[in-house]
Amino acid sequence: MKIKFQIAWFLAIAAPTLPEVLYAGGVNENQIPENVEWLVHIDADQLRATRSGALLIEELIAISEANMGPEVPINPVLAINGIRSLTAFGTMPDFESGAGPVDGVLVLEGTEELMQVFRGLVSGMELEKPEAIERVQVGDNSILKLKGEDFSGIFLEDSRIAIGKSQVALENYLSVEGGEQAHLSLEERFTTNKLGEDSGIYVGAFIEGLNGLQQLPAQARILQLTKQVSLQLGESGDLLQLFVSLGTDSIKTATQVHDVLQGMIALMSITQSGNPDLAALIQSAKALREDANVHLQLAYPVEAAEAWIGMISDLIAAKQAEEAAEAAEAAAAEQELEESADEAPVEESVPPAE
């Protein structure tokens, strides 16, 4: 089995969670290169402060504890209590050649205790298989390269770990950190940004360059008219709110996009009348144009979202119980076969007659 940081498991369990601490989950623009073309941020502080987020975290803890096994290197509750925020960014791939970029970076903000656990895992890996990890010194920082894997990692201060798709990506990240190149100004670059301590928004995704997409389904071809797209999700009062903003190159194009969205909303309100939840979501949809930008807002009751979270959690728990019962049944059958084999009489060999 290939040696890994156990990052994939860790993020799956802990990405949307955080401890009871002071707010620290916002975007740190000083860490992000000015020329990024996409950015995704999960503000775990904000998520925990919401009704739906608190329930989601509670259910995640229950599910992760039920799956806890000796092969999992970190206690799930420790992981959940340690995450503060996640920020990923990079440039878009070449849509014509299909070549993917190698400059993607993920920055995990966590508590000092969680970073100590990470460092302990890495030290253990270096002791167990030192040939699997290479340390590359870049200035005052040491980049860890996992041989045979597609990413490298670096610890920064006491609360962050940056994971890059390549060593070059991390070196570029460090040059921004050290002030050697310009950093992103979120308000200037992505003017629709709503992330912040008092906004209630806990997920934000900002993308440029989607107008280069050619092979799109008919329902998504509207993206070819845009220069920039943002999706932001949060909770305000008794409603979950999704904000979608489409930036175009002119007021004329924005008017066309707005008209297309209005037509799609009207059509869906007719065809989805048999589904009460979906009908309510479509009824809440509001599209408006602001200069060369088009904004779409949807709202969904938190109470209904909580019901969905509970239902999905129950389905997962039922599936886990079914798998556990099947595993126990298979183990019992195997043990019975072994015991039967041990109790079977041994036939004595008879020498052939002369």
Task: Tell me what the mean pLDDT of segment 300-312 comes to.
Answer: 90
* pLDDT at position 63: 78
Q: Summarize pLDDT for 134-168 with one digit per residue, the tens.
A: 888 888 888 888 877 777 888 887 788 999 888 88
- Residue of 143, 181, 179 lying closest to 163 (CA atoms): 143
The answer to whether residue 113 scores a pLDDT higher than 60 is yes
The DSSP annotation for 87-140 comes to EEEE----TTT-PPPS--EEEEEE-HHHHHHHHHHHHHHHHH-GGGEEEEEETT
* pLDDT at position 342: 66
* pLDDT at position 303: 92
Task: Tell me what the mean pLDDT of segment 92-115 comes to.
Answer: 78
Confidence of residue 234 (pLDDT cuts 50, 70, 90): very high
> Contact 192/243 with Cβ under 8 angstroms?
yes
* pLDDT at position 13: 40
Q: Summarize pLDDT for 268-302 with one digit per residue, the tens.
A: 888 776 778 788 888 889 999 999 999 999 999 99
- Residue of 292, 281, 297 lying closest to 241 (CA atoms): 297
The answer to whether residue 127 scores a pLDDT higher than 60 is yes
Amino acid at 316: I
Q: What integer best gives the mean pLDDT of the chain?
A: 79
User: CB under 8 Å to 6, separation ≥6 — which residues?
Assistant: 73, 74, 121
More confident residue, 178 or 301: 301
* pLDDT at position 1: 41
> Contact 136/142 with Cβ under 8 angstroms?
yes
Where along the chain do its domains lie? 1-186, 209-332
The answer to whether residue 341 scores a pLDDT higher than 90 is no
Confidence of residue 97 (pLDDT cuts 50, 70, 90): low
Confidence of residue 7 (pLDDT cuts 50, 70, 90): very low
User: CB under 8 Å to 287, separation ≥6 — which residues?
Assistant: 258, 261, 262, 265, 294, 295, 296
Mean pLDDT lowest among 12-26, 86-100, 106-120: 12-26
Q: Is 153 helix (H, G, I), strand (E, B) or coil?
A: strand
Q: What percent of the chain has pLDDT over 70?
A: 79
Confidence of residue 107 (pLDDT cuts 50, 70, 90): very high
User: In angstroms, rounded to a whole number, what is the distance separating the alpha carbons of residues 308 and 300?
Assistant: 12
* pLDDT at position 95: 60
More confident residue, 221 or 58: 58
The answer to whether residue 77 scores a pLDDT higher than 50 is yes
The answer to whether residue 254 scores a pLDDT higher than 80 is yes
Rg (CA), the chain: 26
User: In angstroms, rounded to a whole number, what is the distance separating the alpha carbons of residues 231 and 221?
Assistant: 17
* pLDDT at position 299: 92
pLDDT winner (highest mean) among 27-41, 65-79, 200-214: 27-41
User: In angstroms, rounded to a whole number, what is the distance separating the alpha carbons of residues 63 and 44?
Assistant: 19
Amino acid at 66: A
Q: What is residue 156's DSSP assignment?
A: E
